[in-house]
């Protein structure tokens, strides 16, 4: 597929900022639901001001880090475990953001930063890999200044089910989808610590449609990230699968 065709498949009026970025660049860095769209959805409700220092934890190929630095004039520490920082530095340099996006290899439980260093923390399509532990937000939130915001967005179900999988998703289910929690679950998970004040915990409106559009475009282009996930989203048709968005402030 040529790049112009791909751009057409990825046209989505919901994300006007993301429309300025090449579809090829986004698909080449794909690791899950489009991180640039997710970053735009998160920052609709999470204010970022020029000059802020922001941690993007679990940034993968750093597409969201590049997007956030460009769109909001912030400095971003692009931290990830599986993707090597030299690979991300290449993308950062290509985007003309050397000195504004800093790729770092980091494990979520051993972050190489000073407490209170960041004005804001984000995690896109990644927090559910390490953040479901009751105590994790107590560790993570320390890296934000008091009053600083923490925003996450990742796959989630609309509600918590007594048993998993929901029957209609049985043919597609993988065990680790058990970490796809609902907005209500995340709200309680964070609020019960008393360390953060949750401002937003919602299902991204039509998030499942964006996720499906993205998967179908990726599949048509290169067969990734997997047709099965698109079939699952079709079968569900927005009943329970979607993207969960949570924004909180670190208490003083």
Residue among 128, 228, 243 nearest 170 (CA): 228
How much is the CA Rg of the chain, to the nearest whole Å? 17
Q: Which of 23, 103, 125, 165 binds ligand SAM (CB under 6 A)?
A: 125
Residues 201 and 192: their CA atoms lie apart, in Å, by 14
Select the span of 12-20, 59-67, 89-97, 171-179 touching ligand SAM (CB under 6 A).
59-67
The answer to whether residue 133 forms part of the interface with ligand SAM (CB under 6 A) is: no
User: By C-beta, is 124 or 196 nearer to ligand SAM?
Assistant: 124
Q: Which of 23, 60, 155, 207 binds ligand SAM (CB under 6 A)?
A: 60
Q: Least separation, in Å, of the C-beta of 81 and ligand SAM?
A: 4
Residues 213 and 222: their CA atoms lie apart, in Å, by 14
CB–CB of 48/70 below 8 Å?
no
Binding track over 25-54 against ligand SAM, x by CB under 6 A = ------xx--x-------------------
Q: Least separation, in Å, of the C-beta of 161 and ligand SAM?
A: 22
Q: Which of 21, 130, 190, 214 binds ligand SAM (CB under 6 A)?
A: 130
The answer to whether residue 151 forms part of the interface with ligand SAM (CB under 6 A) is: no
Residues 126 and 129: their CA atoms lie apart, in Å, by 6
Residue among 67, 56, 71 nearest 125 (CA): 56
Residues 24 and 8: their CA atoms lie apart, in Å, by 11
* Residues binding ligand SAM (CB under 6 A): 31-32, 35, 58-60, 64, 80-83, 107-108, 124-126, 129-130
């Amino acid at each position: 597929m040529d790049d112009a065709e791909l751009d057409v498949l990825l046209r989505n009026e919901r994300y006007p900022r993301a429309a300025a970025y090449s579809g090829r660049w986004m698909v080449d860095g794909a690791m899950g639901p489009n991180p640039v769209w997710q970053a735009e959805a998160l920052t609709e409700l999470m204010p970022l001001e020029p000059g802020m220092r922001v941690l993007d934890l679990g940034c993968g190929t750093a597409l969201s880090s590049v997007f956030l630095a460009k769109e909001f004039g912030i400095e971003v520490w692009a931290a990830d475990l599986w993707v090597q920082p030299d690979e991300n530095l290449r993308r950062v340099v290509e985007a003309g953001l050397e000195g504004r996006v800093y790729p770092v290899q980091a494990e979520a439980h051993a972050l190489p930063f000073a407490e209170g260093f960041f004005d804001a923390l984000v995690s896109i399509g990644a927090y559910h890999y390490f953040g479901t532990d009751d105590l994790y937000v107590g560790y993570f939130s320390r890296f934000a200044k008091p009053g600083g915001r923490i925003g996450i967005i990742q796959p989630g179900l609309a509600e918590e089910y007594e048993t998993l999988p929901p029957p209609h998703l049985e043919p597609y289910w993988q065990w680790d989808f058990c970490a796809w929690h609902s907005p209500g679950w995340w709200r309680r998970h964070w609020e019960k610590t008393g360390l953060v004040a949750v401002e937003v915990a919602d299902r991204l409106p039509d998030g499942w449609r964006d996720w499906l559009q993205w998967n179908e475009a990726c599949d048509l282009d290169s067969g990734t990230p997997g047709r099965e996930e698109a079939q699952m989203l079709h079968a569900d048709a927005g009943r329970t699968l979607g993207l969960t968005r949570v924004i909180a402030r670190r208490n003083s």
